[in-house]
Structure 1
Amino acid sequence: MKNAIRKTALPLALSFALLAGGALAQSTMPASSTSSSSAAASAAKTHAEKRADMVEQQINDLHEQLQITDAQSSQWNAYTGVMRNNASRASEAFQQRSQKMPTMNADEVMKSYAQLAQMHAEDMQKLSSAWSDLYAVLSPEQKQTADALFQHKALKPHHGMEHKKAAKPASASSSTTASGT
């Protein structure tokens, strides 16, 4: 059960991963020397293709765990449509930013990041609305499963937070010096 929960895609985590992951990983990872045919095929995929595959896997996992019924398919399809659209928009935006990055100055880089953050916020609003519509038609058992999945994910530190917490005591004096206070 824990393994299934860990692999479950949660909309918030997905969206954050798309935003943060695209900014941090603009290139694909090299294939290992002991690659099988599936590993070679995976290495040949673009970053965008890998993200699209991840979204589809997360959609499939969530569908299975929530046991979506035919009666809920309209709301489910609307929700997954928003997920796919958000992932596509994020991928495209990060690709465009990556292509422009070598010629951007610091001010343009900062503005481009602000634009990505704004897009992320807008996409999260759309996803939240679609989720609310889906959640409203879930059975009590499905809601309980969804609640547990979301609570489990919310208890995990966000990307990078575990590093900040660990480094805080040691960096307290350096941050004071760096900020000039």
Structure 2
Amino acid sequence: MKNAIRKTAVPFALSLALLAGGAVAQSTAPASSTSSSAAPSATKTHAEKRADMVEQQITDMHEQLQITDAQSKQWDAYTEVMRDNARRASEAFQQRAQKMSTMNADEVMKSYAQLAQMHAEDMQKLSSAWSDVYSALSPEQRQTADALFQHKAMKPHHGAQHKKAAKPASASSSAAASGT
């Protein structure tokens, strides 16, 4: 159960990882023309790796919560918000990284404030979508979700773990480091 919890997506952790990913994204090369499905793991961009992690988190959480067909409408809306948030964050971090070398300290601070604002807005959307999923869950599914979220809330800030995940590692250690 402990490993299952570690491998389950938690929106809070995902969004923290996306926000904390700014430092890593700033040092990542721009996206290549190689498709993410054809690119070997070592040559994937940060954005491609992040998208893969989001998809894995969605899959893991779907399995852990045992989402039913009757819950799929709420679940699909929630996962679309997760994907949209990840795309928005990836694009914002990439744009910031491209401008970073020409930004002065004031501009850097303002760009970070913009990222934080975007993160807050994205969390509001994610929280709303999650509320719809949560209300559709059975009591047993809610217990699982509660345990997953409580476990993640007890962990330290995700930023340090995210940096470990950015280094080349096996899929399982990378997933464990990302909180998935």
* TM beyond 0.5: yes
Please tell me whether the aligned partners of residues 79 and 134 of structure 1 are also in contact (alpha carbons under 8 angstroms): yes
Structure of larger gyration radius: 1
Give me the identity figure in percent: 85
1:167 alignment counterpart? none
CA distance 1:69–1:129, change in 2 (3 Å): same
The one-letter code of the counterpart of 2:20 is A
CA distance 1:160–1:54, change in 2 (3 Å): closer
**1:75 matched to 2:74:** yes
Cα-to-partner distance string for 1:21-68 (whole Å, 9 max, x where unaligned): 233443359xxxxxxxxxx81011111000000000000000000000
Moved over 2 A (4+): 22-29, 159-162
**1:128 matched to 2:120:** no
2:86 alignment counterpart? 87
Q: Which blocks of at least 5 consecutive residues in structure 2 are unaligned?
A: 30-38, 162-180
Cα-to-partner distance string for 1:3-29 (whole Å, 9 max, x where unaligned): 111111100000010110233443359
Higher percent of residues as helix = 1
SS in 2 for 1:103: coil
Q: Structure 2 CA distance, aligned partners of 1:24 and 1:43?
A: 15
Q: Give me the TM-score of the superposition, normalised by structure 1.
A: 0.80
The one-letter code of the counterpart of 1:15 is S
The CA RMSD over aligned residues, in Å, is 1.8
SS in 2 for 1:75: helix
Please tell me whether the aligned partners of residues 18 and 89 of structure 2 are also in contact (alpha carbons under 8 angstroms): yes
Q: Which blocks of at least 5 consecutive residues in structure 1 are unaligned?
A: 30-39, 163-181
Q: Give me the TM-score of the superposition, normalised by structure 2.
A: 0.80
1:4 alignment counterpart? 4
CA distance 1:160–1:65, change in 2 (3 Å): closer
Q: Structure 2 CA distance, aligned partners of 1:160 and 1:45?
A: 20
SS in 2 for 1:133: helix
Q: Structure 1 CA distance, aligned partners of 2:146 and 2:93?
A: 31
| Count of residues in Structure 1 that have an aligned counterpart in Structure 2 | 152
Shift of 1:160: 5.9
